[in-house]
Amino acid sequence: MDADFDLIVLGAGSGGLAAAKRAARHGARVAIVEGDRVGGTCVIRGCVPKKLLVYGARARHQLRDAPAYGLSIPEVDSDVSDLLQRVRAEVDRLNTLHINFLEKAGVELIRGWGRLTGSHSIGIASDRDGPIQHQLTATRILIAVGGRPASPAVPGVDLAWISDDMFEQKTYPDAVVVVGAGFIACEFASILRGLGLSVTMVVRGDRLLRGFDHELADAVLDAMRDSGIHVQFGVSVKAIDGEPGHLRVELTDGLTIPCGGVLMATGRRPWLAGLGLECAGVHLEDGRIPVDADQCTNVPHIYAVGDVTDRVNLTPVAIDEGRAFADSVFGDRPRQVDHDLVAKAVFCDPELASVGLSEQQATERFGRDGIAVHRARFRSMERALPADGHRCLLKLIVDQSTDRVVGCHMVGEHAAEIIQMAAIPLGMGATKADFDRTMALHPSVSEEFVTMS
């Protein structure tokens, strides 16, 4: 067909940007359509600004520890509003960088909200629900519009924040209720507490961080409680009332919590409303776009990557899916993404990171007697002079029949940096004997992974 472009990408987030630039490098004529800022959830309202807030909270901890190292520091004035402004300025800088990267790659950035109007056509509107102003055609289309926070339908929920809102506040109130138990809930609870706020977590279930190794999740819970975060399990929000800054959260157990703000961190869902998928015949399944191993939907020339597929909803996964799609379709270098071994980190306090099978997953797969669990739990040297704070937990899960390490997990300082490197030997099939043969780097936290008996 005589199309305007070889590829049109809907959504300039991590997966869409990676696919567009890689496809253009392979010689394709590529356009990317975005109605919001360029960079997507991770850069604009997710991983990047959140990690900057993590560093802000950590700086307060370091100042608190200064006397343990013989440093006398006068009272420090903490200005959360200044921190938030600096974070937004950095996000603006990154947004500009990503726009420049697209231009250098030869990708045409089309401002506006795109929707499918046919199997090869995209309509562009000035707002998401507005009328279409012009249309474009493409030989292939990639859907990479990501996801959005999902909140429960309770009275007064409009008074609450979603995670997107946390980076747009001028400052934070003295007391906040965080609803949820996953990545976002635990990270923001730690950030807010680290910035000096009173924090209560409301958890519908009976544990934090479902899907992670239970022992590690429990270690995070203990440390969060030690830091002063109040965690209430087995309850849900019944209603929220009041006005911003002066709210009351009514729980299903009858308790009412007064606070200055409420964060609903209760999950995310693919953002598919208004995309016109039905106009192109793209099938949905449980609110997501199902794809095959090559990122292809049921329509042979329409693909999807990232959170819209609701598989492994992490930025590096979306990036790799986008690049694999572009390499396979435009680069004559077919490859598929391996979703089985993906390292994950939760930037709470303390930090949790994990790769491979949890103890529970390994038990299901190999049986209780089929695995060996090696662990080390200790207070790191960094906490020796302050003589307080959380204890580190390092854990290896081993398949007894092969001696292969099938899970590597950690709670403690620099956990994400350490587990990133541990993911390499796990992907190569390293055994416990391989770990044991590795010389320790002393004194370090990570040496415990190669000295466990």
- The answer to whether the CB of 193 falls within 8 A of the CB of 227 is yes
DSSP state of 431: B
Helix then strand count (H, E) for the chain reads 11, 21
How far is Cα 328 from Cα 281, in angstroms, rounded to an integer? 23
- 16-41: b (≥16 Cβ within 10 Å) or e: bbbbbbbbbbbebbbbbbbbbbbbbb
> Which sign does the torsion angle of CA 392, 361, 417, 450 carry?
positive
Residue 333 buriedness (CB in 10 A; 0-12 / 13-18 / 19+):
exposed
442 catalytic? Reply is yes
- The answer to whether the CB of 189 falls within 8 A of the CB of 199 is yes
Choose among 122, 102, 101: nearest CA to 112.
122
Q: How far is CA 314 from the centre of its chain?
A: 5
How far is Cα 75 from Cα 92, in angstroms, rounded to an integer? 32
Name residues whose C-beta falls within 8 Å of residue 303's C-beta, 6 or more positions apart in sequence: 140, 141, 142, 143, 291, 294, 295, 296, 297, 325, 329
Q: How far is CA 445 from CA 315, 343, 398, 449, in A?
A: 27, 19, 20, 8
DSSP assignment string, 190-248: HHHHHTT-EEEEEESSSSSSTTS-HHHHHHHHHHHHHTT-EEEES--EEEEEEETTEEE
How far is Cα 261 from Cα 268, in angstroms, rounded to an integer? 20
Tokens 């060996």 correspond to what residue? 372
Tokens 């997507």 correspond to what residue? 40
DSSP assignment string, 388-405: -SPPEEEEEEEETTTTEE
How far is Cα 327 from Cα 19, in angstroms, rounded to an integer? 9
Catalytic residues: 442
